[in-house]
Chains A and B, each alone.
Chain A
Amino acid sequence: MRRAWAFLAFSFVMSWATVGRAESAGQSGGELHFCLRGEPKTFNPLLVEEDSSETIRYLTGGVLIRLNRQTQALEPGLAVSWKVSQEGRRIAFRLRSGLHFSDGTPFTPEDVAYTMKALMDPQLHSPTGDSFRSGEGQVDVQIPSPESVVVTFPAPVAGLERLFDQVAILSAHSPKKEMAVLGPFYVADYSPGSYVLLKRNPSYWKKDKAGKPLPYLDTVRLDIQRNRDIELLRFRRGEIHLINALDAEYFDRLQKETPAVVHDSGPGLDSEFMWFNQVPGAPLPEHKKNWFRTTEFRKAISMAINRADLSRIVFGGHAKPAFGPVSPANHFWFNTSLPVPQHDSAGALRLLEQAGFRLQGGTLLDSSGNRVEFTVITNAGNKSREQMVTMIQQDLLQIGIKVNLVTLDFPSLIERMTRTYDYEACLLGLVNTDLDPNSQMNVWLSSAENHQWNPKQSKPATAWEAELDRLMRAQSSATTDKKRKADWDRVQQIVAEQQPFIYLVNKDAMSAVSLAVMGSSPSVLNPHAFWNAELLRLGADPTLGAQK
């Protein structure tokens, strides 16, 4: 008994010692290593429009307001505080004082004014600036004091403060132009096709709780690697520290080997969905157009699809049945009162019978005796989408509907979707990076190009599309989040009732982070694995680190 107590005491001391070592194991310095999946197109933060440049902007750019990827709340960045007024037309910032750009140039309100003017310059065609353009006219920037800036837009901008998360402040005076930054790192070296090397910004303003300057890391090396298999292989070899986005197959492979390195943060913002072609001028038989325009038909198809099976089998459980255009991951804007999508073949048949369809000898016929059969197109080479359609084939066969699958190369698919409208149904995915409903204006307005089931309408074809138009415009000009939320909730409800897009699943946000990286806390929002890059540090154990 005494020996047992002695053993327990020894174990406790040892485990305490181990915890103590682990706490002190994280060390400042070192090089974080991971891959960009393409060549960065620009280092100008105002011109960013693809993932690689966005990664660099996120790691190097200093912003006035930062969206916390974990809590989804706005936090002070270069601005200590801010106030939105005049119904979303004006925003006043109080700036931090004594800050410097990476090259030592002081940060002043003139830099904010310079950045805003450049951002809104129509000649620059800034994709980030487009989000701020709500009406005709010039943006006005006033500097009432050396520590404050007031920006006034010609018309109200919905969710104005949130948009500043994307605006990296440029220096008005630095000779290095956009290469002088206010973020945790700056671009030190770039070898096209090979790597981008970021170094610690010695002038970065943020400090940790102990008052130690951030970031902890000395450098971040971003290797340009398009091939995901090679990226995975390098991660397994310990050559890179993290993979920001993993698909279900790679996740499971890594999980089998080292469960501790993979992170499934739950359903992300991306969704997979299908829709029927409702374009009046589409070269389809008239009876098929009538099916696709019938709400009961679309709702029946939605009910007959077993989303739980899609999530479990196609995505290995790393997806959740989708409710609608907003993922449950979007805490504020998701309409929690939407009904949970249920798989109900009998209910689907009842709906179809109400709409004049009938099941005869295992085959569904419409009121004119036409067999219900349609073809779903999707992009070739996407295994999970092909598998989803194959599963939908079996689900719909239970209610007598025959579904054909045709995979097309992407240009042909886009040609049919946007120009010839020569298709019956399509299954695709939506990569959503923005939480705000305004980012979906180009989908839900009936005049929009991405209103895929019937795009570019001169006037809304149906009453519910007219209602969608009204609500989307109302939410975009509403001054309070409460009013915007009410409008956007109603949009989600109409979409659930009408099923113009049949949302299938929300894929989980998955990432892999080496055990050598400390302080990592993967989130649902992008960047998943390095959103808190300034707080990341590498472990002391060299065997866990990435080898050069």
Chain B
Amino acid sequence: MSPLQKGAAFILCVIFALMVLATIVVPAPYARQFRDVPNAGPSTAHPLGTDALGRDSLSRLLYGTRVSLLLAPAAALLSTLIAALLGCAAGFLGGWFERIVLAVTDLSLALPWLFLLLTVRAMLPLDVPPMVSVIIAFLMMGLLGWQASVRVICAAARGVRDSDFLLLARSSGCKPARLLLRHVAPNLRPLFYVQFWISIPLFILTEANLSILGLGVMEPMPSWGNLLRGFEDFSALAANPWRLVPLILLVTVVMCFQLVVPSQEVTQ
């Protein structure tokens, strides 16, 4: 492990520790409104200031980290699993199966998923607790966010299909299922990692967009997504630079994940 990787791992550990200990660390409950000090700057009472409704920004950031760092990777894992399953099978088997999978992928890419999500939101009951609605939102993102990864994984699996080691395994009597699970999938693992890691920030930002449409994390529960919505007002950002902290945290976490996880070359 290089010093850079160690540094990244340390940062991640600190963030995770803060996330887990949020209940103890935070200066105030994330939903409590200090109405006398809306939009306040950093102070001893509120180290990162307060938001437009006077809620402590540090508390909201730590609780938001909890929501986003647990659910965005979960959604990314789900979408990567679906993509891995479909992409590997399509690339390895080829023929009509590959054509069907790619056609379905193209079709679902062409679907106006935004309207699909709106329809789903309209069909959901209104009295679901905020946490359940958050889980539903991320679950839907996971179920609908696999298409781009499928195409990449399918192309890579197609390359592996014609490799010598697979020919050797096949000639020694390996069954297709075993070939897929023991030979093809392990060779594509770095690609799965890459797809997984690039999906996380994508899902966090998607959640922010969905919040605007009423499908993401609802107030007063915080998430990185709805904290990033505060960036709509650029002039306020320039005057209050500490409001950039959620963005800095998002970038830091994604970068640290990229550094800590072994790259494709290293894995191979």
Contact = CB atoms under 8 A, between A and B. Distances in A.
Nearest to B35: A309
Interface in B1-45: 31-33, 35, 38
Contacts, number: 68
B233 A249 contact: yes
B122 A415 contact: yes
A424 B126 contact: yes
Interface string B48-69: 0000111000000000000000
Interface in A371-422: 373, 375, 377, 380-381, 383, 386-387, 389-391, 393-394, 404-409, 412, 415, 422
A447 B188 CA distance: 66
A140 B127 CA distance: 56
Nearest to B122: A412
Interface string B245-264: 00000000000000000000
Given A404-B130, A406-B218, A390 B53 contact: yes
A325 to B, nearest CB: 27
A407 B220 contact: no
Interface in B103-137: 118, 121-122, 126-127, 129-130, 133
B126 A391 contact: no
B53 A380 contact: no
Contact of A390 (B121, B219, B232): B219
A386 B219 contact: yes
A253 interface: yes
A412 B127 CA distance: 16
Contact of A407 (B54, B214, B232): B214
A313 B53 contact: yes
A313 B122 contact: no
Interface residues of A, number: 30
Given A381-B213, A409-B214, A313 B52 contact: yes
B38 A313 contact: yes
A291 interface: no
Contact of A408 (B31, B127, B214, B232): B214
Contact of A313 (B54, B213, B218): B54
A423 interface: yes
Contacts of B219: 386, 389-390, 393, 405
A385 to B, nearest CB: 11
Contacts of A386: 219
Nearest to B226: A386
A409 B118 contact: yes
B235 interface: yes
A409 B213 contact: yes
A386 B54 CA distance: 15
B212 A380 contact: yes
A393 B30 CA distance: 13
Which of B53, B126, B220 has most chain A Cβ within 10 Å?
B126
Closest 6 CB pairs of A and B: A407-B214, A380-B214, A412-B122, A390-B219, A375-B126, A406-B126
25 contacts: A253-B235, A313-B52, A313-B53, A375-B127, A381-B212, A383-B232, A387-B53, A390-B53, A390-B220, A391-B35, A404-B127, A404-B129, A404-B130, A404-B218, A405-B218, A405-B219, A406-B214, A407-B214, A408-B214, A409-B118, A409-B122, A409-B213, A412-B118, A422-B126, A423-B126
